[in-house]
Amino acid sequence: MARIITLTPNPTYDFAVEVDFVEANRKLRCKNPDTKPGGGGINVARAASRLGADVLAIFTTAGLYGDALKKAVAEEQVSMRAIPVAGETRLAFHVHEQDKGDEYRFNLPGAAMSAAEVQSMLDVLKEEARAGDIIVGSGSLPGGEPVDFWSRAAHVAKENGAHFFLDSINGLETAFAEGVFLFRCNQFEYQAIANRTLEWPDEITALAEELVGKGAAERVIITHGGDGSVMATPNGTVSTPVIKVRAQSAVGAGDSFMAAFIVATMRGYSDKDALRYASAGAAATRMSAGTALFDPADVERLYAG
């Protein structure tokens, strides 16, 4: 059976808190603290596991927060291969201001990776990947040596007969030169490629089609906030509107979108239905507070409409 394998070279240990208000030069009293494992690939694995997929999360760990991260992943019963690196696993701090309903997100830098540490992670991927698996590279790249990490991971995936899905805007030049099976970005990230703001839906769709036409990716998904999402493929383009919900937090919504899309694809859904199922996954996570992911029952309910 095909497996989803996620790669997270720059994971986080996530803190989420609530405050009554945010004001400069004031001591802010935090309440309702919560911690979760974080980082794009880890969140994709967590979300896909909740939807019943067979998953493996490969990620780096360093220091005390790295130990806490491994424990948190294990508590969610997500299979993992943790790659030890020097330094300290980074923190991400999420603050929800109750007075205005605003959300503040602070991401610290991660531990730099050496060439040997990068190779260790790729060696584990080569050992684990099988024909038909979906390999997901997600999140930011840390400092140090991994500037071409995604392209090298995509190459390993191809050698093993797996498909490589990329959900990151770091290292794109070499990744696109290698070619990936699927690339996803959001309404803020696509500007790193287009170098300007584009109009929804026509110009956004044209960008997705251009990337497919150039061979950067066989499929390109661009999510555009409250407007919806579009996917370009060699066989045409499909789109779906966003599913409206009463949102509490956007943390993990993009990762939930990616996980739900992959699971739907593995279930044999059509492109349009897979995109809608992905939208349901993102919407269900937006309903959750802090850094929590979705309730699977909400995904199915929202998808059914």
Catalytic residue annotation: 255
Cβ pair 223, 184 in contact under 8 A: yes
Determine how many CB atoms are found less than 10 A away from the CB of residue 17: 16
Could you tell me whether strands 31-38 and 55-61 are parallel, antiparallel, or unpaired per DSSP bridges?
unpaired
Nearest to 50 by CA among 4, 108, 110: 4
Q: How many CB atoms lie under 10 A from the CB of residue 271? A: 18
CA 234 to chain CA centroid, Å, is 24
Written as one letter, the residue type at 23 is: E
| Chain Cα centroid distance, residue 127 | 23
Which residues does 112 contact at the CB level (< 8 Å), separation at least 6? Answer: 87, 142, 143, 144, 145
Amino acid letter for position 139 = G
Best CA proximity match to 279, nearest among 263, 258, 251, 293: 258
In a 3-state reduction of DSSP, which class is residue 300?
helix
Q: Are 239 and 205 in contact (CB under 8 A)?
A: yes
Burial of 40 (0-12, 13-18, 19+ CB in 10 A): buried
